[in-house]
Amino acid sequence: MWTTTFIFAAFLGVVSVTAVPIRRHAAPMNISTEVVSIAGGGVPNTPLPSSLAESTLNDIQVASFLENLESAFFQAAVANITAWGTTGFPDDTLDIVRRVAAQEQVHVATFDAILTDFKTPVIPPCQYRFPVTNTSSFLKLAQIITSVGIGAVINLAATTAITDPALIQNLASTVTNEARQDAFFRQAALGLVPNPTPQDTQISAIWALNLALPFVVPNSCPLFPDVPIFPAMTVVTPTGNSTGDNGTITFSTTAGVSGNLSIAWVNQANLPVFTPVGRTLMAGQLTSSIPPGMGGMAFAALVNQTTAKDVMALTTMTLAGPATVQIS
């Protein structure tokens, strides 16, 4: 296992044409010409609107937190994969990871430039610990991280489309880049098809941050977004690269809850699905069923209500989680 500094990112949305007062884009943050060259481009030079909603700036701080995790993860991976080697993986694996690392630095600089321009505190990196010991485990974790980032950016774009549509181009172009990265990791690490579903899955910023927390060294963040923290929940069984869209699943959680509990499932652009929690195998473990009809990456959380119609409502009633579940 190695320890490093990280951050997450990714976003998606629908273009909205609106007359918006614009301003000069903030000067690009500190990013080298070498990084820009490897990434294939730098911080966008399109103008920003004259104002942004406070909620948008808060969400961009969360995006910056997550992007920093991705950036540091991939920068450290370049050095580690050089030592580990890429035997059994595509010959250009290291070159692709090097490009991803540079692109994540550009994503961080893009969000930080927006925050700086609007005099909003930039979220600096934390220190992180990742259970990565070889190229295979790195690529598998990279696929989870990019899936979380994609879901978080979809959420940011969905909310920004209402409050600040002038940012949609920036967010949409970021999420498509993240999706290309995810497609490579799915094939290289898991041997899965790169495009398992017609839509990706939106998760809330709060869920995204909670998924990042297991990798954060406690008390290492100079500044942390103000969000609720839930007890962790992870998949115990089935093991393997994917679970399939049916059968029984066992979760482990630190939540000390009981009563009429359910697992809430979020997948693609669909309504949440709820499955009842069955018997407890041992302290901290619970079972449920995997709903049919899901694909790609799903997200699951422990709840005691079944009324939520979207992931934002689910977030307010989450008792533990979420957990990432690779369905296919």
What pLDDT score does 244 carry? 74
Q: What is the mean pLDDT of residues 285-314?
A: 93
Using DSSP bridges, classify how beta strands 320-326 and 297-303 pair: parallel, antiparallel or unpaired: antiparallel
What the block records as the tokens of 136 is: 């295979």
pLDDT of residue 48: 86
Q: Which of 40-49, 112-121, 315-324 has the lowest mean pLDDT?
A: 40-49
Q: What pLDDT sits at residue 145?
A: 93
Query: Which one has a higher pLDDT value, 170 or 203?
Result: 203
Q: What are phi and psi of 262, to 5 degrees?
A: -140, 160
Task: Please state the rounded mean pLDDT for residues 43-56.
Answer: 89
> What pLDDT is attached to residue 11?
29
| Residue 187, CA distances (Å) to 73, 139, 190, 194, 196 in order | 19, 10, 6, 6, 11
Enumerate residues 6+ apart whose C-beta is below 8 A from 83: none
Kindly report the CA angle at 278 between 324 and 214, in degrees rounded to 5? 30
CA atoms within 13 A on the CB side of 202: 20
pLDDT(281) > 60:
no
